[in-house]
Amino acid sequence: MAPSSPTTLSRGQRLALIVVGCVVLVVLWVGSGAAKEQASRHLDKYLPSLSLTSLSSPSLSRKDPLAYRRLLEETTSPANLTTHSPTLTFDHIYVLSLPARQDRRADMRRIADALGVTIEFVDAADKREPFLKWIAQRVKESRDERRKVMAAARNRSPSSIGGLKIGSDWITPFPADLSTFTPSSSRPLPDRFPRFPLTSPSYTGGAKTWVSHLESLHSAGGRHTSLRPSDPNLNVSSLLWDPREKLGVRQVHEGVISTYWGQTRAMKRMLENGDRTALILEDDVDIEWDLERLWKGIERRLPRNKETGEEEWDVTYLGHCWGGEFQKPQYLHPLLHRSSGPMCLHAYGLTATGAHTLLSHLLDPWSAFSTAVDLVIPSLLHIQDLLDPRWASRDHGEGIRHAPLVRSWSVVPPLVVQRKDGPSDLQKGTGSPWRGVLRDSTIERIKRGDGTWGDEWDDVFDPSNVDPATQLRCGPV
């Protein structure tokens, strides 16, 4: 008998091989089923429950109607939209507040807790502080000097200089009459004010002007509070009354100077802390419940240097009043517009560059404290448009020889409004009639959670008493 081939398998070997093959097939089949089940679970997690259409399959289990939405949210949203920021993408959130108004500070802490954010209080100055009257006397001196310079530049009487509306003579950096200026990219801007005269030899520490003297004392441990007016009974309203302003509410008094001082302190704090951006709030505001998500969507549409990533904006109003902020086109977001003339400083985002820019205007000794602080930016925007309207249609002044005075944007409707549930620190009663309406009030949620929300708080439309906020936003400044 011929010897068997080495590759020939015995009957036992063949049987063993068949068994092994069957086991492998079973393992593969089981594994395939597990994979299908896992895939099905994955789909069930993300895909919504759909009715049987040409776009759906009856073989797929659908349990969670929001799963697909969450999938898209997690996979297509910018990273900062899906992660919470305790400072809302800013480096700090500052709240300007009088130390004596602990009631307001408590309210702001509750709002911060409700939104999951951290805030830092900046002390405002009580309007009864004597140093504010010292400032008022310096403002009177600077106004007198300013009248002389502007009257000479315009060939007019000093008594013709003044007014406290947007574009005020007390704010413009240019003495000349800008109504005669013809915009041109090749034409230089009008001359600015000359160097401010040294009006007092008593300033110490190298201070050249009354503003630098004030600031140096503030930096030296708060010694500015030692400043006193020559007359302790000085009437600030009478001293600074502007006969060219018809509206009494615009006149400058101690409360106006106090607010001006406080806003510059908040900006200074931002720079001292080395912030890239900051949000500055007043202490009597209500805020959109979904502020973080709304702001993050807006913030990423603001102009930014494509190479360095640095912000190319100065200020963005999240809360404002008495302005026609719908006048200019939407800017890459349905709620974002270039600013036209926003008043009030309920809430605004500020870049470090913007803080430097604004402080250079706010603390210019020719104009510092001469008007309400919230008049400065609208006035600069107004003057900017007179000098060259193209600033309003260009991101960074391309093709324009002169840099803009201020780069300002407004969120419309605002995300932050002033509460009207307590006395104003500046005006009698609860302040101006401007109120504004939020989509989803944080204060309302807090009060409903406490069980303290009453029916009298519910908004009711009254055609005989329409909120000015609903009428003026589309109107001219």
pLDDT of residue 72 exceeding 70: yes
pLDDT of residue 99 exceeding 60: yes
pLDDT of residue 42 exceeding 60: no
Could you report the per-residue pLDDT of 199-250, keeping only the tens digit for each?
A: 565 676 667 899 999 999 999 999 999 999 999 999 999 999 999 999 999 9
Instruction: Compute the mean pLDDT over every residue in the chain, rounded to the nearest whole number.
Output: 85
Burial class (CB in 10 A: 0-12, 13-18, 19+), 293: middle
Residue pointed to by tokens 């759906």:
56
Residues in the chain: 477
Q: Considering only residues 94 and 50, tell me which one the structure prediction assigns the higher pLDDT.
A: 94
Out of 137-151, 202-216, 295-309, 434-448, which region has the weakest mean confidence (pLDDT)? 202-216
348: enclosing H helix or E strand: strand 343-351
- In eight-state DSSP terms, residue 321 is E
Average pLDDT over residues 405-422: 89
pLDDT of residue 14 exceeding 80: no
Could you report the per-residue pLDDT of 250-263, keeping only the tens digit for each?
A: 999 999 999 999 99
Q: Which of 336, 357, 184, 164 is nearest to 256 (CA)?
A: 164
pLDDT confidence tier of residue 52, bands split at 50, 70 and 90: very low
* Residues paired with 410 in a beta bridge: 317, 337
The per-residue pLDDT for 427 is 47
Average pLDDT over residues 94-107: 98
* Residues paired with 279 in a beta bridge: 93, 349
Distance CA(456)–CA(450), nearest Å, equals 16
Q: Considering only residues 443 and 398, tell me which one the structure prediction assigns the higher pLDDT.
A: 443
